[in-house]
Homo-oligomer: A and B are copies of this chain.
């Protein structure tokens, strides 16, 4: 049921992108990096370092947290994942290669994170660029909300 199984081309594509990235930067293709990439693209939705670590170990792959932290930066640089800091605690990551830009609603009563894609935000981006004479590289509208029944 995971993405890796249902659509092997997905993984092939990102692996190609990643290996090129490594080559272009004189970096090595290590088993740890490939295992991380496979695992990340098999995870649905968001994950943090602990979850990734746990999953890799569960699949019989020995890897240290330090290596995970270090290599996540590579995935970020190559544009294969996105990083979020929802409130406090560990940073959250998510695959990004096949995904549209989307935004997040954090439901503070249950902890759920919902995604939504809202083209109007692209318009706002454009307005900001014109008003301030700047280039908006990324934006992170987090909407903090609760379910309707207020406590």
Contacts and interface: CB of A to CB of B under 8 A. Distances in A.
Interface in A120-137: 120-121, 123-125, 127-129, 131-137
A127 B108 CA distance: 19
Contact of A118 (B105, B124, B138): B124
Interface residues of A, number: 35
B140 A142 contact: yes
Given A137-B145, A139-B141, A141-B141, 5 more contacts: A105-B136, A118-B127, A132-B145, A134-B147, A140-B142
How often does this chain occur in the complex, in copies?
Answer: 2
18 contacts: A105-B132, A105-B136, A108-B137, A114-B132, A116-B128, A116-B132, A118-B124, A121-B124, A133-B147, A135-B146, A135-B150, A136-B143, A137-B144, A137-B145, A139-B142, A139-B144, A140-B140, A140-B142
A129 B127 CA distance: 24
A136 B144 CA distance: 6
A134 B149 CA distance: 9
Given A120-B124, A121-B124, A145 B136 contact: yes
A85 interface: yes
A107 interface: yes
Closest 9 CB pairs of A and B: A141-B141, A134-B145, A139-B143, A136-B145, A138-B144, A136-B143, A140-B142, A137-B144, A135-B146
Contacts of A62: none
